[in-house]
Structure 1
């Protein structure tokens, strides 16, 4: 059922707090990867996001770098190309006037429900805008996230990249085929090992581009041990799987007016007035969309499933009456990389064909302090409204923006990949998902990972296929 809905059925064992917990993350899977169920927000990072360390007064033991190995100016043309490829529509952030000359196609106007909040924020001297979305907004568009789009208005990797590659450029797609490891000698990947419904499959190629996501890509490398690679492929630095980041996200549901109630799609507002404050970085505030179904609140791990199931009808009535119908905002804050926050292969063998992995992620004092300041600002802004705070930053199941586990950099001792996303120690291996992020920034990663993939593709074409 999960696979039919575009979700992964992989399982995570979280050992962050002593006793391990198992759960299935809310991540997309299948053709196009996790973008099949993403929320479509596609926004450029700030220039300061690629010179991150200066914006954190007390980074502690974080490995957040002084700067990325590429500049923001190097990314600008690739951002523009990715916006065009994904059909991004919306407004530019008014706090970044340098982007005004690179306008985007317009999104539909704010809904009446959102306009109330936009007018209030403008009245407070803040700068709300229509967040850029990779969406075609066909009639009846629900700006869907966490599930597959049935109206062909979500511009994702499958629709905008994989399908044209197959129909126009001769690419081949192997369905229901799982990569389980890479065979390599001391400098070159020789074979990609797969398992399909028909049995084992081996693939060879001049270049191998790995884009299985920041959870699975490092696990594949760690599982690809050999005499040449006793700690895992491309892991001479012992950094593969480390420096895991995922963003810290809290939800705030607000009712801007007495008697306000909306169930309409409302993923529209962006606000970055608190992204930088007093020399520190925090994060963004954006529309989350409608509240999740009550089942997601009553059936999660650690909530006493049996007891909650008994009161489901009561919970549903209370939920629908008092806790639904508002505008849900996501307060998304940048988290920092740490060596001990990591992903690892699962110790035991799989008996049902599912991928399993182990994860350790704990919020550190720097994040706790910044989150308190960030949430205080949001509380002040939303003070006039009835609201409901759903604290989710501590929830390790929130992995939609997971990144950092194969960071890029100039020094092979402190990074896995070089500035072109090629593994330092493997001549023909590239990792092009969010694993490469050396810091997480405070915005959605979708556009940046897409823009960087175009940048790396141009390099691969020039370096490996010059004719």
Structure 2
């Protein structure tokens, strides 16, 4: 099997690249280890999704202490966006610059916000993001307002918004990729965040990027195909083929350009597993940084409980607060982002609190308003992804910046009590929830310190790109999906130009350069 461009992974990064190259005359194949996620009643069943872990991988990993666990990984067409909460934030302008934190420094990116701004615009258009500009005090410059207005608050969330305003905060409508509104397909099912959408109303990578790419032509999709090794030519400078394991046996896929978009953990693992005589420490790893600098936001669920009121909200993810993002008057140091969680159900609580009686958990879930405090995790070379001699993935996460995160959580709990909630409880997310994984194959201007250049091309190889959240040199403190999409659209445009130049030089005029996605 051969293609001009071989893309490994069908999440945001891989699917955005595929869309940029669709209809250009180039042959593109997307290799996905999972299958299409089935549309079934269990999609919206909390017991199936959280109690039975119906869709979670059965693979196990090792943590830094050598303990085995089952990670929150989902392998389906569309990647983790099939289960994401639809939050589509731009990084703040200062997130691209060096930023001091209480426990260290968040490094500068090799690109500036202005380099991604037009691609943020395009990504928001493709994902049908709903939002309202001008409300968030940390919002970066925009060329225009959102194309679609925000998803409105339900009554309980609207009341919380007003109570936060009364405390001097600036709550804003969370940008969300949900097909809601006139002619939209969203029915406020009550199971959006962390659930798959049974009616395709959530704007995930499959719906918004991959399906349009497949329709335009030139792009094909191979599912149930796990990439196991990248093979180089004798010089080691070019990737010549990809070894794939399918249900029917092994397969070799050759190509001119390879794009690795398997997620920050699995992309690093594949590079490490592809070590050869020329690159004994793994491909793209002359810098020694592949697998290192793993980051995953410090996140805490905060439940504000009012026994006097039942919270019957079905889609709560309409509110967010960034007043604490850079600290400002609230703290000397950056604290992070506050947003709503999807409505908590008893099976979700049961997984974290297995020894608490179910009736009590059901009571809490009916009477709680559920929030999500997120702080930046700073890059550390000791936080890393490794491949053991037995082939196991070992993920060592040395969490950073926990002091300001804990202070942030305390501030939020005080705000909620002042808003009239008599009981506020919290629980931090653990290492088994790598939903915002990033940083393991970071990009930069120095080949001695970063595996990738500013266009996510490997310094060590002429035809290898890594385009998923692994390229992040810092994690910032907002959800990463939109930034992955923006950079992937930028890289895809660059690849299209490179392919056009190559075809023109070789006299192949069948390739017309395509059009902008």
The 2-side partners of 1:94 and 1:145 are apart by: 22
SS in 2 for 1:461: helix
Is it true that 1:14 corresponds to 2:55 in the alignment? Answer: no
In structure 2, how many angstroms separate the alpha carbons of the residues matched to 1:322 and 1:445?
Answer: 30
Residue 44 of structure 1: how far off its partner (Å)? 0.6
Q: Does the aligned pair in 1 maintain the 2:346–2:361 contact within 8 Å?
A: no
Conserved 8 A contact 2:305-2:424? no
Counterparts of residues 62-461 of structure 1 (less than 5 Å)? 64-65=106-107, 67-92=108-133, 93-96=135-138, 99=141, 102-104=144-146, 105-137=148-180, 138-142=185-189, 144-185=192-233, 186-255=236-305, 258-262=308-312, 264-278=314-328, 280-294=333-347, 296-299=348-351, 308=355, 315-349=357-391, 356-364=392-400, 367-384=401-418, 385-393=421-429, 395-461=430-496
Q: Whole-Å Cα distance in 1 between the matches of residues 365 and 89 of structure 2?
A: 30
- Once the two structures are overlaid, the 10-residue window that deviates more, 186-195 or 323-332, is 323-332
Structure 1: give runs of 5+ residues left out of the alignment. 309-313, 350-355
8 A Cα contact 1:323 1:388, kept in partner: no
The alpha-carbon deviation at position 96 of structure 1 amounts to: 4.1
Indicate the residue corresponding to 1:353 in structure 2. Answer: none
Q: Does the 8 A contact of 1:28 with 1:38 survive in 2?
A: no
Query: Secondary structure at the residue paired with 2:228?
Result: strand
2:315 match: secondary structure:
coil
CA deviations on 1:368-421 (whole Å, 9 max, x unpaired) are 32123312321331223223322215x111210010000000101111101110
Q: What's the offset of the Cα at 1:265?
A: 2.5
TM-score (norm: length of structure 2): 0.80
C-alpha spacing 1:253/1:203, structure 2 compared with 1 (3 Å): same
- Residue 17 of structure 2: aligned partner: none
Following superposition, the deviation at residue 299 of structure 1 comes to 4.6
Distance 1:100 1:431, change over 3 A: closer
Distance 1:7 1:36 in 2: 12
CA contact (8 A) 1:6 1:148 kept: no
Aligned partners of 2:258 and 2:464 also within 8 Å: yes
SS of aligned partner of 1:215: helix
Q: Distance in 2 between matches of 1:281 and 1:239?
A: 26
What is the root-mean-square deviation in Å for CA atoms of aligned residues?
Answer: 2.2
2-structure distance, mates of 1:195, 1:291: 38
In structure 2, C-alpha distance between the alignment counterparts of 1:263 and 1:287, rounded to whole Å: 12
- C-alpha contact (below 8 Å) 2:127/2:208 kept by paired residues: yes
Q: Deviations over 1:113-158 (max 9, x none)?
A: 1011011011112111110111102352336122210111011111
| Structure 2 residues not aligned, in runs of 5+ | 1-33, 39-53, 505-517
CA deviations on 1:19-48 (whole Å, 9 max, x unpaired) are x32222223321111111111100111001
Q: Give the direction of change, closer, same or farther, for the CA distance of 1:400–1:388 in structure 2 (3 Å limit).
A: same
Change (3 A) 1:398 1:389: farther
1:293-344 residue CA offsets vs partner (Å, 9 max, x unmatched): 33x44456xx7x7xx4xxxxx7111111235431100000011010010111
**How far apart are 1:101 and its partner, in Å?**
5.5
Q: 1:33 to 1:57 in 2, by over 3 A?
A: same
Question: Please, what TM-score do these two structures have when normalized by structure 1?
Answer: 0.89
Aligned length: 439
Distance 2:442 2:210 in 1: 25
Give yes or no for contact 2:131–2:176 (8 Å, CA) kept in 1: yes
Other structure's SS at 1:270 match:
strand
